[in-house]
């Protein structure tokens, strides 16, 4: 059942996510596109008007991120009312509407409206799918399961660039950009059909008083009989956590309170900072504007630029599998710190190599090389790991709300990067990469001092790391001192308590 979740929901939904996030950037340099939308023509306009057209171009591309920001926030009121599956259905319907509007556009306003609607649906995907998957996964496989979101997202980046390249050879026709934009529609249709055959989150079902259905779903997910002791113990743990929620009713203001004994504000800041780093390290810059960087900044021929962009994003997809195998072996903290260090060094090197004139062939080769190196380190920690960590540190009663707001923060900075990049590349050039080098260098420092390890801990047991520390400064130290077998010890302890209660 878990395999079906990943193959039929997670992979199509996040491939759709990545495809539509990066797919428009290469298309905006096509003559067939700018002839329909001359307001964003940075190809045939130069001189003093370049900044204006570049700003418009950035705004059109970034309208997707605006929709995604509001889509992720919409899950706050909807997530715990409709349930995880129904939210995924709603996201699929809105995405289809946006996709149709965008593909059928002959007017820039209609195109932007369609792109905002498309982003709204993807924003709902980006919150609901990781939460649903994390709540359905066992602790020992949760990391690898949620990391598949990043693998699928990067697959979407690569597919969009290869299809953009393939349709580039359709001469003098708007099909050159309409067909690539329409191609991902099939992914949404897979999601909207398959979700009806897959189980709702057991944790959500318990929260709405459907413990029997939750037991059935959990048994199906774990491939065990309903009366198995492991299933009964996990349901008991979930019910205990839900009872605590009932006593202490969830409030959004809890996330902003510094005085609570569960460190909600601390956890909330961890999520916000992680999603900020995911965008401000340069990953979106490379994913969305790789083709533009190769063509306009490094002076490569259009076909060469598109081939290199598609190749580097395919390489990025392959490198995602490093995180898949590392996340539940090295731990969350280690992959974040390795990723941040590598990205900082890559961006610094890219800034140096890009500072030479575009006529310097050797410098252009070096720049392309460092983009490939960057795409080794970025997916190692920040294509799925950020969504995973936010679902792990959030308590049950605020998991949807905390992830909605932190993911909205992800989309806010995604919008900022997407909006300013065309202007920044056209004005400050190589200096733009220095900003990302500095931000990436902060990641290992911040993670080392403030982010506790969450690997191999039951979602209901992670609270103890935050609750039992005498001060926020002791949280990471406490988590670091926990023995490697803490999960097994905790589950055995919970199982023993459960059995004793049953006897009593």
CATH value at residue 250: 1.20.1250.20
For residue 116, the model assigns a pLDDT of 95
For residue 490, the model assigns a pLDDT of 42
In which domain, by residue range, is 271 found? 2-230+240-467
Dihedral over Cα of 97, 98, 99, 102: its sign:
positive
Is 87 among the domain residues?
yes
pTM: 0.78
For residue 50, the model assigns a pLDDT of 63
For residue 141, the model assigns a pLDDT of 73
Q: Which residue, among 482, 446, 445, has the nearest Cα to 462 in the 3D structure?
A: 482
Is 474 among the domain residues?
no
Structure tokens given for 475 = 């949280």
User: Into how many domains does the chain fold?
Assistant: 1
Look at the block and give the residue holding tokens 């926030």: 73
With the CA atoms of 326, 188, 77 and 457 taken in that order, what torsion angle do they form, in degrees rounded to the nearest 10?
-20
Structure tokens given for 222 = 């774990």
Structure tokens given for 90 = 């709603």
For residue 243, the model assigns a pLDDT of 65
Q: Which residues of the chain have pLDDT under 70?
A: 1, 45-51, 139, 241-253, 257-260, 457-461, 481-504
Is 502 among the domain residues?
no
For residue 135, the model assigns a pLDDT of 83
Is 298 among the domain residues?
yes
Structure tokens given for 291 = 């083709």
Is 491 among the domain residues?
no
CA distances from 284 to 111, 235, 415, 418, 484 (A): 22, 40, 10, 7, 35
Instruction: Report the distance separating Cα 383 and Cα 372, nearest Å.
Output: 16
Is 472 among the domain residues?
no
For residue 71, the model assigns a pLDDT of 93
For residue 195, the model assigns a pLDDT of 92
Is 476 among the domain residues?
no
Instruction: Report the distance separating Cα 188 and Cα 16, nearest Å.
Output: 7
Instruction: Report the distance separating Cα 310 and Cα 39, nearest Å.
Output: 27
Structure tokens given for 84 = 């995880």
Is 475 among the domain residues?
no
Look at the block and give the residue holding tokens 């774990």: 222
Structure tokens given for 231 = 């299933």
For residue 259, the model assigns a pLDDT of 58
């Amino acid at each position: 059942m878990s395999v079906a979740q990943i193959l039929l929901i997670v992979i199509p939904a996040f491939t759709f996510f990545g495809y539509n996030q990066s797919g428009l950037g290469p298309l905006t340099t096509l003559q067939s596109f700018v002839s329909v939308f001359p307001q964003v023509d940075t190809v045939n306009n130069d001189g003093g008007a370049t900044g204006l057209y570049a700003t418009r171009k950035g705004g059109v591309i970034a309208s997707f991120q605006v929709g995604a920001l509001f889509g992720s926030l919409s899950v706050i009121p909807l997530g715990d009312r409709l349930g995880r599956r129904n939210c995924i259905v709603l996201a699929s319907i809105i995405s289809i509407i946006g996709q149709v509007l965008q593909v059928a556009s002959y007017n820039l306003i209609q195109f932007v409206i369609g792109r905002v609607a498309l982003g709204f649906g993807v924003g709902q995907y980006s919150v609901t799918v990781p939460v649903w998957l994390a709540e359905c996964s066992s602790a020992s496989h949760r990391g690898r399961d949620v990391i598949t979101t990043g693998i699928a997202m990067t697959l979407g980046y690569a597919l969009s660039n290869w299809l953009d390249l393939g349709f580039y050879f359709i001469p003098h026709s708007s099909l050159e950009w309409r067909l690539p934009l329409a191609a991902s529609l099939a992914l949404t249709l897979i999601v909207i059909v398959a979700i009806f055959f897959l189980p709702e989150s057991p944790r959500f079902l318990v929260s709405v008083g459907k413990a029997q259905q939750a037991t059935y779903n959990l048994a199906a997910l774990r491939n065990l009989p309903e009366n198995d002791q492991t299933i009964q113990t996990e349901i008991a743990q979930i019910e205990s956590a839900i009872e605590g929620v009932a006593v202490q009713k969830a409030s959004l203001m809890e996330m902003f309170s510094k005085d609570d004994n569960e460190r909600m504000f601390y956890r909330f800041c961890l999520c916000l900072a992680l999603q900020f780093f995911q965008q401000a390290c340069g990953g979106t810059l490379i994913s969305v504007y790789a083709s533009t960087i190769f063509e306009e900044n490094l002076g490569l021929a259009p076909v060469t630029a598109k081939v290199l962009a598609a190749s580097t994003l395919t390489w990025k997809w392959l490198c995602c599998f490093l995180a898949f195998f590392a996340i539940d072996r090295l731990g969350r903290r280690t992959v974040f710190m390795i990723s941040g260090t590598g990205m900082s060094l890559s961006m610094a090197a890219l800034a140096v190599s890009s500072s030479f004139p575009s006529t310097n062939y050797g410098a252009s080769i070096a720049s392309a090389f460092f983009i490939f190196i960057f795409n080794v380190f970025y997916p190692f920690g920040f294509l799925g790991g950020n969504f995973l960590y936010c679902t792990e540190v959030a308590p049950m009663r605020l998991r949807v709300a905390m992830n909605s707001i932190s993911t909205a923060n992800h989309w806010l900075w995604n919008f900022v990067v997407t909006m300013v990049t065309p202007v920044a590349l056209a004005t400050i050039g190589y200096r733009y990469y220095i900003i990302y080098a500095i931000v990436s260098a902060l990641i290992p420092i911040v993670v080392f001092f403030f982010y506790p390890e969450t690997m191999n801990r039951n979602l209901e047991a992670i609270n103890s790391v935050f609750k039992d520390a005498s001060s926020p400064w002791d949280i990471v130290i406490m988590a670091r001192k926990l023995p490697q077998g803490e999960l097994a010890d905790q589950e055995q302890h919970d199982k023993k308590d459960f059995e004793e209660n049953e006897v009593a």
